[in-house]
Amino acid sequence: MSTARAHPNIALIKYWGKADDELMLPAAPSVSLTLDIFPTTTTARLAPTAQRDRLILNGQEASEKALSRVERVLDVIRAQAGRSEKLLVISDNEAPTGAGMASSASGFAALALAATTEYGMDVNTAHLSRLARRGSGSASRSVISGVALWHAGTDEESFAEEIPAPPLAMVSVVLNTAHKKITSREAMVTTRATSPYYRGWVESTREMAAQMVEACKAGDMQRIGELTELSALRMHALIMSSEPPIHYLTSASWRVFELARTLRGVGLDVYATADAGPNVVLLTRPELAAEVARHAEALGEVNIAHAGNGAYLVAEPES
């Protein structure tokens, strides 16, 4: 039995669009912060007599769709390990339902570590990141502590690695909006197929990622924040330019973007970003997080997060 834990991450430079849907290769690099809240803990146990893998998610038998995504990653891992036994996988997310924090990144990062350990593989962090990527692109980044750069390129080249960065904090603002969800995966395909801006997005993301690496290295909080908000706005503009248009941000989301602008107006380093949904995350300096959270409380439910650890093994209690 092998148990691993991983945390969600929020992209500073967004991943949107694949170069290869099967190998889960991104069209451009991205940069993210792994958080220290809402971990996923996953246990993998060899099930030598089972015909199929089995997935228990938050105490319940997982759907066929969730199971088949897990099986696809486990098939890749088994092929590399030279093993054929199936696994029982038990996975629990600490994020409260509706916390607006996608669990696929933490989930596939924890799964990759638990499963490779259970099959007796000795994988380095880069390779673990490649394997997590096969479950969900953003999971490649949750393998990594702190700020991660996920490289685009070939299967071999496309993994995430930690880059030097100053201390950062995030205040997530969960908005109470009923919202019909179009998954990131589906929306990425629609965007690539229909938006006339897609090529520009890919090109500008390459540039923004390179600039973000430099800003992080220099500890330039203002530039890190500006690039973070710019990447989010460009991503949402791209997504809205699809046909049919896809809208993730609502009027409530824009109020949080406006709050960031207002706080910058009084000299605070606060920048907004948002993923494939209406909730907004505010990026700031750790010493400002409590103050930013107080300002955002009127707009939604807030949670403060800092840089967290990448995927790690959890010791089993003696039985």
What is the CB neighbour count within 10 angstroms for residue 297? 12
Minimum gap (Å) between residue 22 Cβ and ligand 2P0: 12
- If binding means CB under 6 A, how many residues of this protein chain bind ligand 2P0? 15
* Shortest spacing between CB 162 and ligand 2P0, in angstroms: 17
Minimum Å gap between C-beta 192 and ligand 2P0 is 12
Written as six digits, the tokens of 54 are: 């089995």
Which residues, other chains included, contact 133 with Cβ-Cβ below 8 Å and sequence gap of 6+?
A: 24, 139, 140, 150, 158, 159
Is 111 an interacting residue with respect to ligand 2P0 (CB under 6 A)? no
24 part of the interface to ligand 2P0, by CB under 6 A: yes
Q: Which stretch binds ligand 2P0 (CB under 6 A): 85-93, 134-142, 166-174, 207-215?
A: 134-142
Candidate list 136, 191, 228, 253; residue touching ligand 2P0; CB under 6 A: 136
Task: Give dist(CA 9, CA 4) in Å, integer.
Answer: 16
Q: State the distance between the two ends of the chain, measured CA to CA, in whole angstroms.
A: 12
Binder among 137, 146, 300, 310 for ligand 2P0 (CB under 6 A): 137
Can residue 192 be called a binding residue for ligand 2P0 (CB under 6 A)? no
Query: How many whole angstroms separate alpha carbon 123 and alpha carbon 32?
Result: 22
- Cα dihedral across residues 266, 14, 188, 129: positive or negative: negative
Smaller CB separation from ligand 2P0, 2 or 273: 273
Q: Does 14 bind ligand 2P0 (CB under 6 A)?
A: yes
Q: Can residue 95 be called a binding residue for ligand 2P0 (CB under 6 A)? A: no
Q: Is 142 in the site for ligand 2P0 (CB under 6 A)?
A: no
> Quick check: 191 binds ligand 2P0 (CB under 6 A)?
no
Residues 197 and 172: their CA atoms lie apart, in Å, by 29
- Please report which helix (H) or strand (E) contains residue 133, including its range: helix 125-133
The bridge status of strand 169-174 relative to strand 280-284 is antiparallel
Whether the Cβ atoms of residue 160 and residue 12 lie closer than 8 Å to each other: no
Could you identify the residue written with the tokens 């038990």?
90
**From the CB of 315, what's the least distance to ligand 2P0, in Å?**
29
Token pair for residue 49? 């007599």
**Residue number of the CB atom closest to ligand 2P0:** 137
Per-residue binding letters, 150-189, with ligand 2P0 (x by CB under 6 A): ----------------------------------xx----
Given a contact cutoff of 8 angstroms between Cβ atoms, the answer to whether 255 and 298 are in contact is no
Q: Does 30 bind ligand 2P0 (CB under 6 A)?
A: yes
Interface residues with ligand 2P0 (CB under 6 A) are 11, 14-16, 24, 30, 102, 104, 136-138, 184-185, 275-276
